[in-house]
Structures are given as C-alpha cells and as structure tokens.
Amino acid sequence: MDRTRLADLVEASDFDGLIRFVDGVCAAREWDGLAEVRDRCLQAEARGRQLFGVAQFVDYRQALEAPPELAAQVVVDGAGRFALGPLWEVAASTHTWAELEAHIQSPRMRALVAAERALRGEQVVGDFDLEVLGTPFARADWEPRYPDAVYRSDRADFPAPDPIPLKPLAPAADPSQADDPDSEDALFGLVRTWVEESNGVAQVVTIEGRAVDAIGTVASGPANGAKVAFTDALAVMAWAGANGGAHGSRRGRAVGRSSAWAVVAAFADLDWPPDPAEIERAGTRLEWWRWEPRSQVGGWHLGIGAHDPTENLAWAINGRDELDETAKAGSGR
C-alpha cells in the first residue's frame, strides 16, 4: 500500500481520491491497509478534516468483503450509521452464520445477523436473544419470500414486492372513527424512519367499517386499490419497515419483517412475541388491501388497508416520502 499517497490524500481531504484508494486496497485484499485508512481518516477528522464519510465507507467495505473475522469487527451496535445499509445486514449478505458466529459478541448483533442468514435460507444454530426481534429464526412455510438486499462495493439494491393491478376505489364519506392506538402505532412504525429521518409524512386511522372506507380517510384524493392475500400485504409491510425512505437509515430486512408481524399482532390483540401459528391464523382471517393515490408518481409509498370482519374494524396507512421536501406538510396518526 502506498502510504505516502494515502497521507497526501488525507491531508488534501480528497474524498473521491480516498474512495478510489479504498477500492484499490480492497481489490488487493490488503485488510491491514484498510484499517490504516480508517484510522488516518478518523485522526484527520479530529483535526477538522471532513473525512468521517470515508471512514464509514471503509467499515462498509470491510463488512462486505473482508474475511469473516474482520467483517465481524465492524458488526457492532451503532456502527455504519451512514452506510448503504446496516452493517450486520451487509456482512450477512456475503458471509454465512457459521463463518461469523464465533466472532460476534453483541447479543443484539448476533440475533440480527442470524435472522438475516435464516431469511437467506441458512439453518442457524446458537444462543439468541429472542426479545431483539420477537420473530422466529427461520422463515415459516406460509410466509412470503422477502426479497434479498443486494450490496455491492458502490451501491445497493433493495427490491420492492411486485406491483399489482389496481382499480379506482369508492369509499364512503365520513366513516365513524374508532380508538385503537396500539394498531395505529404499529402501522406508523413501518414508516417511522421515513418521517423522523427523511422527508416523509404518514397518516394512519382506525374506523368502524370497511378497509376501503379507512383508505378513503387517509387518502388525500382519489385512490386506486385492490384486495390482496395476507402474504402479499406482509411482504409490502416488511419492505417498508426495512427501508429508510429517501434519506433515512435502512433498518434491515429482519427488522422490517418483525415490524410487519407487529402490525398483525396489534390488529389481532396478540401477545408479543407471538406464536407464528397465531400470526398466520390472524393474518388470513383479516381482509387486506394495497392502494396508491391515483396521482402517485415516483417516490416511496406505503398504502395498506385491513379489515377485521369479526370486530367490524378497519385500519389504513398512507405513508410517503420523496427526495425533496415538497411532501412534508406534516404527519399524523
């Protein structure tokens, strides 16, 4: 590794040059050199150089590409705040649980990495803190296949569930409002990061009546929608809960899945952590809808409606985010 070149780049605060330098170090698999780049950037940060982003990039590349024992070093609580994704998910995307297990000490990180590996089809074995997520460390037979996050050296892809055909909705005017703060909090939790860390807004509601009428209450104008299977709704909610919207930090697929299960548990008044069989029974008993504003173009949107025919209650969420702040007129529950 050319340490003279590294020193010059650091002193010049040459962000682009340092990123290219890191690319070369990773290509050569000089992992000790990668740690030196991080240390020099952090030391320079203390002297007023704006190089924290480079240090974060180094941690991301280490989690993604380094051998398991080195990748695990950056899988710690609070690391990777501004990376393309949470470092536990990044490391789990390219390393197996069997490779990482012995090197991760944090109970929370162990649970998150193991859950991600389980969703990728690996049978995980270990001592896990079940309270971290509240969901099982294996995908149930009845669950959808939540799309894998794909991390690369310079970008990441987070596939959304496939779109479905939607038709115009005709909701009733002014349905009776109902009081269900737990369900509304769970729905809002799916897009909390969009609102708190980005430009997002969200409206959630509980009413007496149909899902279509709940959707009409949160929609700001004409909407299109369609009834969907429980598994389709679960996949969409998990996708929203995993993502950070336009500018927020991605929370990770395992967290998104847990957030989606929490919505079902709240609707059905189930204890947490829930029995997976109870989640399946409750989810299939409810009627689910996906919907979008008729004027929706681009950006991030979560439109879900649900109806409990036994209780005659319905819930809906309108969560949206955009790259600029034109959408942020407020948020409500």
Tell me: do 166 and 81 sit in the same domain: no
What is the model's pLDDT at position 323?
A: 83
Domain that residue 185 falls in: 160-321
Position 313 confidence tier, pLDDT thresholds 50, 70, 90: very high
What is the model's pLDDT at position 64?
A: 98
- Give the model confidence (pLDDT) of 24-41 as tens digits: 999 999 999 999 999 999
Tell me: do 179 and 146 sit in the same domain: no
Tell me: do 149 and 173 sit in the same domain: no
Structural domain includes residue 241: yes
Q: What CA dihedral angle connects 195, 113, 108 and 237, to 10 degrees?
A: 30
pLDDT at 19 over 80: yes
Tell me: do 167 and 151 sit in the same domain: no
- Give the model confidence (pLDDT) of 44-57 as tens digits: 988 888 898 999 99
Q: Are strands 150-151 and 156-157 parallel, antiparallel or unpaired?
A: antiparallel
Tell me: do 287 and 198 sit in the same domain: yes
What is the model's pLDDT at position 285?
A: 98
Tell me: do 125 and 165 sit in the same domain: no
Structural domain includes residue 330: no
Q: Using the 8-state DSSP alphabet, how is residue 63 labeled?
A: H
Q: What mean pLDDT is reported for the chain?
A: 94
- Give the model confidence (pLDDT) of 242-298 as tens digits: 999 999 999 999 999 999 999 999 999 999 999 999 999 999 999 999 999 998 878
The structural domain count of the chain equals 2
Would you give the distance in Å from CA 3 to the centre of its chain? 38
Tell me: do 120 and 254 sit in the same domain: no
Would you give the distance in Å from CA 99 to the centre of its chain? 24
Q: What percent of the chain has pLDDT over 70?
A: 97
The answer to whether the beta carbons of residues 164 and 224 sit under 8 Å apart is no
Tell me: do 182 and 127 sit in the same domain: no
Position 331 confidence tier, pLDDT thresholds 50, 70, 90: very low
Structural domain includes residue 299: yes
Which contiguous run of DSSP H or E holds residue 254? helix 253-267
Structural domain includes residue 326: no
The answer to whether the beta carbons of residues 75 and 63 sit under 8 Å apart is yes
Residue 94 to residue 225: CA distance in whole angstroms: 37
Structural domain includes residue 223: yes
Structural domain includes residue 27: yes
Between 329 and 235, where is the model more confident?
A: 235
Residues 135-145: what's their mean pLDDT? Answer: 96
Give buried/exposed letters for 140-164 (b at 16+ CB in 10 A, else e). eeebbebbbbebebeebebeebeee
Which of 47, 68, 57 lies closest to 25, judged by CA? 57
Angle at 250 (CA atoms; ends 247, 251), nearest 5 degrees: 140
Residue 293 phi/psi, 5-degree rounding, is -60, 140
What is the model's pLDDT at position 326?
A: 52
Structural domain includes residue 193: yes
What is the model's pLDDT at position 222?
A: 95
Tell me: do 164 and 124 sit in the same domain: no
Tell me: do 7 and 135 sit in the same domain: yes
Residue 226 phi/psi, 5-degree rounding, is -160, 145
